[in-house]
Structure 1
Amino acid sequence: MPHTTRPSFGIMTAPSQVDYQDILRVWREADTIPEIEHAWLFDHLMPIFGDPDGTAYEGWTLLSALAAQTRRLRLGVLVTSNRIRPPAMLAKIATTVDVISGGRLDFGIGVGSRPGWPLARREYEAHGLPFHDTAHAVGSLAEACTVIRRLWTETEPFDFQGTYVQVTGAFGNPKPVQRPHPPILIGGRSSATLRVVAEHADLWNIPGGDIDDVVSRSALLDRYCAEIGRDPASITRSIHLSVSYDQPGSTRDAIGEAIDAGFRHVVLGLSAPYPAGVARWVADELIAKYR
């Protein structure tokens, strides 16, 4: 399938099992390298890999700090758990980051952790947060996207009485820098989530792995778009791929497969500890071939 749009590349630094200064070093370096166009954190309150008692930073607070320390990179959370923050509060947080960054936010959101993943699920119990079933998680995500977009764009207070989300006199001031609003990226692969993607997303992200499964999920999204009369091409396809420092050739192969499958937004996950000059290495070893 021929593609005329050039792929964009970013990095993801999971803010867990690592120090703030290490993440800041990588983001500052990446900010000086034009081949790297975006940078991402994740949204977990406790580690989901490595030492279960290790460090884990709150994603949006950290993103705000990194927004103030960078000038060029687009930035976001891949992806925000809709289970953790009420949507009106999240809209306010995201607006603040968009203002601090001068309009560089890509707003990533998803249903939250999978119910069957104990290391991810424990963080909800540890923070006194409810962990509802999948139907609740997906339904509340759709309503959250509606409320957040309205808070970003509407000029008068409004009420919203949904099945899962209720707000009274909701109003957002200031508005985000980006107009009409920051791009909305929804992450996930379940068919229920893909229906929300079709309705609300500007970008859709899926973790890499089995490329055949990724392609089938993308085709399903095409179908859901067609069912509601939306052009599937209006949703940018995004993929997260883990980087191998020892075998960059395998990472380059995965990038090539993803691009050939129509994924034009590539997020390269960096594992800690980050080698010195890792952002330049990513640009030279992984991205240069596709420029």
Structure 2
Amino acid sequence: MFSPSYYRRCQCKGPLKDEAGNPILDAEGAPKIGDIGLTCPKLGKGHGTWYFYFEAERGEGNKRARVRRGGFAKLDDAKAKAKELYDAATAGTDVLSDETCGDFFLRWIKAKKSLARTTRHGYEEHINLYLLPHLGHIKRRDLKVRHLDKMYDAIEKENSARILHRLRVDQLQKDRDDAHQTWVRTAGYAKREERRFTRRAFLDANAALREGKQGLRKVTSAATMHRTTTPSARRCPGASSASRRSPRTGHSSWSCRRSPGPSRSSGHPSASSTGSAPARSPARSWSGRRS
């Protein structure tokens, strides 16, 4: 039964007292100073914040599980959060776990002992390039749709910079090839000074190409960035039950949809996509392919 308890507390420090109301003294006979957040005389309107706790389903060994949160300016905010956590716990989310998404992703890939070498390489690439930088610091229980939206938006922004970088490298490659052809053409008939000049032009163009290639990264393909509005048949790990449903559509926030063609090895935290062009949607999916 859902019956949370709400209370106020603050961060004030003051003399500690025992249950009888007598001051607690230290070894030198002076009053001990500590946290008096629950007994602060200033508690009331405008002082302190709201906290709540409720009893969740007992864990292994009939161990008591108490969910506690705080720091809410309004009582209504605390009530809304308590209901959200209760619904998540009822749906099977471990709301007491402090595991981050990054810890989960690393634990997940480590447990996959039978993956093929190339498949493991692809999964590790997705984890290291996308999931850890954007989601690794977030606790699994706190993962929401907005976090996935930010991740995809950041990837798209990075793609724009990578595309421009790729175009600059392509132009440098063309300039290097043209300089090389010019040097080759002058090797048989041109004067020594002219050959030296064209050779120097080629070497300079080649050095510019090497410098331009530094930091060049692949552009995340449309297949990897596929987004879908269809409900998910599978639930992706790492997302809490509260984050799996879009507040606007009710669809799964991180769905895994497989393409109709031949698929790769299963067990990815994200399945392969349909390969269609990306389209903005409140519900998105992560594929197992990358160009």
Structure that is richer in strand per residue: 1
Q: Provide the TM-score with structure 1 as the length reference.
A: 0.21
Max radius of gyration: which structure?
A: 2
Q: Provide the TM-score with structure 2 as the length reference.
A: 0.21
Q: Whose RCO is larger (CA < 8 A, sep 6+)? A: 1
